[in-house]
Structure 1
């Protein structure tokens, strides 16, 4: 049974991020297919769903293209940022499914429906194709976030994941229960594996690991994350080309408190994390360690709520204990974990790009 996801408020997403999801969802969207498209449609950020869907008069949304596409058709997405302001679903309950793009139409054998980035308008070199920013996932029957069998780089940032791996609303065990499952290919080595990044994110009270490499063949980046009460908080289990277990991960400025801090860490690149520095940890280091209220309403602009939970206290020894990793920070050095003591001080960490 597919777990029900709790989705964030609708925010702008890039064309390349959309394509990363579509490629995994639409049959026959690989370059290997050679069938001739029956009709070519166009979608652009400055388009209109009342237009003709041509290159000169593109539509504005994937949904409009999806409604018109037939087997053999091609839909080109022009480069840019697509702002979604409405969704499918009425949010009638906290477990309701709400999505902005629904792919409920398939092509046929030899005549798939293709969704392509417009030639010359793909992802710039060196940038992640898929970004999850400001998301929340909780009480899913399996994992919160799962990047298994993902062949393009994914960045997850400023996101929260808690109480996954249980029947929703209970503590009855269900699926795997990782907060962030970052890669892997079914416990097998795959030479096409890419590096993923999780940063400024929080995982707590998940049934299994808070942050889990899941037998990933390459070292993912974990930067400025907070893990609380997971089993364990960080698990860097990877795999070698020969299929043997190995430790894989690059970790900086992370915080693990309550529960088992780490596992499979010996061969990873781990420095300036709470367990490396021996920082004394107690509830007094935080403004609050409450695990309630994380599903509070978003701010007016759509950002996650500003909470005191797992945020360092003003005199916390977590402040200025990290190392510069090329991301904005305030103070003498980055703080440990996902949050700075105040919302103002955290603003550089919440910078939107």
Structure 2
């Protein structure tokens, strides 16, 4: 009888009509949460939200304080500022949290410095959630040893959408996934993030986007049309991922430097697309994930442009463009999980890519041509001589132009193949889309 009552209550919750709640900088948590009488805090509205509801956040800057932290992890290490553990109804009826219409709210975390805690601004364990159209700035690091903070962590949630978000001018990783399936990170930006506090201030733990699922079941996660620049470590990092991830239509530039300078910071790869490092005890997944990197652009990162990073198998690299990275394409693999030895890359599929003017090495390095599939690249199987005149434009400032009103990437001429060039007629590079997704 008790079980039937519990089931009835659950069904009743999911059948109730969805509600709209509003939050505003001039609101009050004693209000009704309507457009005319909004709440003041996301913490309060989260107590009321039920599956399928929408939370509209009015424009303005929300200066978050430490007493607003919603939860601390059981091990006492993490401070979860916003604990997003309530799921939506389904993948087609998600619970929504986002800026109201064209208004763009900003969460300022600069005053949140819990002693000896790592900060996660949005800790997401719920599923079928949609976050859209807001910014996070000023996320802090307080620990001087090896540590990291994060603006978003997806830890167990499935079928979540993160759309048109910006994580910038802080000390934290923009987005970090450790567990969960079929999550879409769409039209998001992570930039000007540098940690001067931990590990001697090198900034070596601050990536733009990190995909590091710890379970083989965390499949179907996609980074699409995202940008990462001036993050003090890597733009995109998939090290120790146990499940395959797709990175599509993304741009990564000026990573590995302190913001708005060319002062060296962390590793600085544009797309660190896999890998297990050279530890004596690397994670050894049952199936080596075959990540996909397609229609992406890497420009002037401090280290590699596209990097296999000691991976234990092949990665699909399709229609990408690398320009003025020390090495535009580095396919370095680890020999095996048991053998701590770097070997030329094996198992990679490398098609329709463009490499132009690498700063310090060949177009592609550390690749075993007999153990990889290479076709129709500007550098292999035969090299296509290129010059500035093969591109519509080379103005790198276009990369950081504002996004379109719908959050999509700006239309740019940078590294776009010019009609009549060999790379245009061969449909090489990041601007050419492929209908065949069998990589």
TM > 0.5: yes
Say whether 1:191 aligns with 2:202: no
Which aligned pairs between 1:1-353 and structure 2 lie closer than 5 A?
47-48=18-19, 58-60=51-53, 75-76=86-87, 78-80=89-91, 82=94, 85-86=98-99, 89=106, 102-103=122-123, 115=156, 117=158, 123=182, 128-188=219-279, 189-192=282-285, 193-241=288-336, 242-246=339-343, 247-248=345-346, 249-259=348-358, 260-266=362-368, 267-276=371-380, 277-321=382-426, 335-340=427-432
Residues 7-49 of structure 1: CA deviation (Å, up to 9, x unaligned)? xxxxxxxxxxxxxxxxxxxxxxxxxxxxxxxxx99999x9546
Q: In structure 2, do the counterparts of structure 1 residues 68 and 141 end up closer, same or farther at CA, with 3 Å as the change threshold?
A: closer
Distance 1:47 1:222, change over 3 A: farther
Q: CA deviation at 1:231?
A: 1.3
Q: Distance in 2 between matches of 1:164 and 1:186?
A: 20
1:309: how far off?
Answer: 0.8
Q: Cα offset for 1:183?
A: 1.4
Q: Deviations over 1:155-209 (max 9, x none)?
A: 1111100011111111111110100001122324543141111110100111111
2: CA distance between counterparts of 1:61 and 1:184?
39
How far apart, in 2, do the equivalents of 1:80 and 1:47 lie?
A: 15
1:267-300 residue CA offsets vs partner (Å, 9 max, x unmatched): 4322211111321211010011222221111112
The separation in 1 between residues aligned to 2:342 and 2:296, in whole angstroms, is 26
Higher relative contact order (CA 8 A, sep 6+): 1
Alignment check: 8 A CA contact 1:286 1:311 kept:
yes
Q: Classify the secondary structure of the residue corresponding to 1:187.
A: coil
Deviation of 1:67 after TM superposition, in Å, equals: 9.0
Distance 2:372 2:18 in 1: 47
Gaps of 5+ in 2: 1-9, 22-32, 34-44, 57-67, 75-82, 110-119, 126-154, 160-179, 184-216
What are the Cα deviations for residues 209-252 of structure 1, in whole angstroms up to 9, with x where unaligned? Answer: 10001111121111000000111000011112233223142211
**Residues 61 and 184 of structure 1, relative CA distance in 2, 3 Å threshold:** farther
CA 1:234–1:69: 2 relative to 1, 3 Å: same
Contact 2:295 2:430 in 1 (8 A): yes
Q: Is the 8 A contact 2:328 2:364 kept in 1?
A: yes
Q: Give 2:166's aligned residue.
A: none
8 Å Cα contact 1:178/1:212 also seen in 2: yes
Conserved 8 A contact 2:55-2:98: no
Q: Distance in 1 between matches of 2:299 and 2:46?
A: 45
Equivalent residues, number: 272
For 1:190 and 1:168, locate their aligned partners in 2 and report how far apart those are by CA, in whole Å: 32
8 Å CA contact 1:190–1:217 kept in 2: the answer is: no
Give the 3 Å change call, closer, same or farther, for CA 122–307 of structure 1 in structure 2.
Answer: closer
Q: Distance in 2 between matches of 1:257 and 1:75?
A: 47
Query: Counterparts of 1:43 and 1:181 in 2: how far apart (Å)?
Result: 41
Whether contact under 8 Å (1:79, 1:122) holds in the other structure is no
CA offset digits 1:113-142 (Å, max 9, x no partner): x85559xx9659x99521111111011111
Retained in 2: the 8 A contact 1:133–1:159?
A: yes
